[in-house]
Amino acid sequence: MQVIKMSELDLRGKRVLIREDLNVPVRQGSITSDARLVAALPTLRRALAQGARVLVCSHLGRPVEGEFSVENSLQPVADYLSAALEQPVPLVRDYLQQPPHVEEGQLVLLENVRFNRGEKKDAPELARAYADLCDVFVMDAFGTAHRAEASTHGVARVARVACAGPLLAAELDALGRAMHQPARPMVAVVAGSKVSTKLDVLNSLAHVCDQLIVGGGIANTFLAAAGFPIGRSLCDHELIETARNLATRVAVPLPIDVVVATAEGEIGDFMAWAQQAPAQIKLVRDVAANDMILDVGPQTSAMFADLMEHARTILWNGPVGVFEADAFGLGTQALAKAIADSHAFSIAGGGDTLAAIDKYGVGRNISYISTGGGAFLEFVEGKTLPAVAALQAAAAGAAPQGE
């Protein structure tokens, strides 16, 4: 995938606008998870070390476009960056009216791009305004690369120079390695509540992987397609035939045993119920009418672990059970450990997957952890990411210089 990389450019003295994904959770003015900030820091430090005049932009939350709101301000992020970079990081609100003065080796944070009208609609005039702020535009926010917005796509099309930052470049390299040049055998793990939400991912991986492990409600649909009872378990009944067809195109190792809870009557707060429900291990053929499958059993975990041990490429998206409840998290825990212990190149992505990695402390032994959710899935689906397409056009010298 041919794009210009930030590492290939001399940034000294240049005004460098870096689009990061700093959309962190903030509660009562405090950042509750700094994972995205930690991921962005190496790029920022590299640009500063080169003597660039650094401007950083990002969105945060979902404010009413064009309207400032304190709860969606990037001020907590500016405070965090000031401490992490050991230099003052001012937050600038009026940067479109008055471009900020930035010295070499200095960094300023631009206020939430979603406070600007036309951001989400990829307005050409806003994209041009962003481009006018810089000599070099760096797209480093893989998590937003699937959105055609002014600060991710539009600016890359009209900037003097548009390149991929180290974080984005690493994402593209890792995903490209897994999807286009996988060492064999390749094992993919795809889990979720419904086949319908991951159908494009499943279809894409069916062409690429050697074994496709399914979990959650997706696994229940495949079990039903194979004729096993699933009781009251979550299932895409209208896609049972689709699951049956997918299983003819790629090996789908189905669970041997599962962990169930008996569901009597209506369930209100599902997670509260799952936290208290007694867990039972059953063979898949023995699932009763009132049972709800909430995890895979130990025999299935052992089978999955054996597949991971012999794999050379692993792509992981989704826990195989309701891991938030400890009684139904042993399957996901065993899977996480098996992936971490494998000698395969492993790449993991998706919010629930990252939460499971954090819970079970295996992050150090996963080859690459993607910062993207929707972008990760769209790449796996084989879709073109708008921001990446703009960078490719810029690298080819085909980017239009205004519209």
- Residues paired with residue 30 on neighbouring β-strands, in sequence order: 27
Q: Which of 61, 105, 118, 374 is catalytic?
A: 374
Contact 318, 352 (CB under 8 A): yes
- Residues paired with residue 137 on neighbouring β-strands, in sequence order: 17, 162
- For helices 166-180 and 374-381, the axis angle rounded to 10 degrees is 40
- For helices 298-310 and 330-341, the axis angle rounded to 10 degrees is 20
Q: Omega into 166 within 30° of 0, i.e. cis?
A: no
Q: Which of 15, 36, 114, 198 is catalytic?
A: 36
192 is an active site residue: no
Q: Which of 29, 66, 351, 361 is catalytic?
A: 351
Q: Which of 376, 382, 342, 340 lies closest to 358 in space, CA to CA?
A: 340
SS3 category, 150: helix
Q: Which of 360, 353, 345 lies closest to 377 in space, CA to CA?
A: 353
374 is an active site residue: yes
Q: Which of 194, 282, 337, 359 is catalytic?
A: 194
As to burial, measured by CB atoms within 10 angstroms (0-12 exposed, 13-18 middle, 19+ buried), residue 177 is middle
Contact 284, 163 (CB under 8 A): no
351 is an active site residue: yes
Contact 59, 144 (CB under 8 A): yes
Q: Which of 161, 150, 160, 157 lies closest to 112 in space, CA to CA?
A: 150
Helices (H), 234-319: 240-246, 270-276, 298-310
In sequence order, the 6+-apart residues with CB closer than 8 A to the CB of 29 are: 76
Report CA dihedral (83, 172, 143, 380) to the nearest 10 degrees: -150
How far apart are alpha carbons 103 and 15 in whole angstroms? Answer: 9
Helix (H) / strand (E) element for 54: namely strand 53-57
Annotate 24-48 with DSSP letters as a single string.
--EETTEES--HHHHHHHHHHHHHH
13 is an active site residue: no
Residue located via tokens 């993607």: 370
User: What is the C-alpha radius of gyration for the chain, rounded to an integer number of angstroms?
Assistant: 23
Catalytic residues: 36, 194, 351, 374
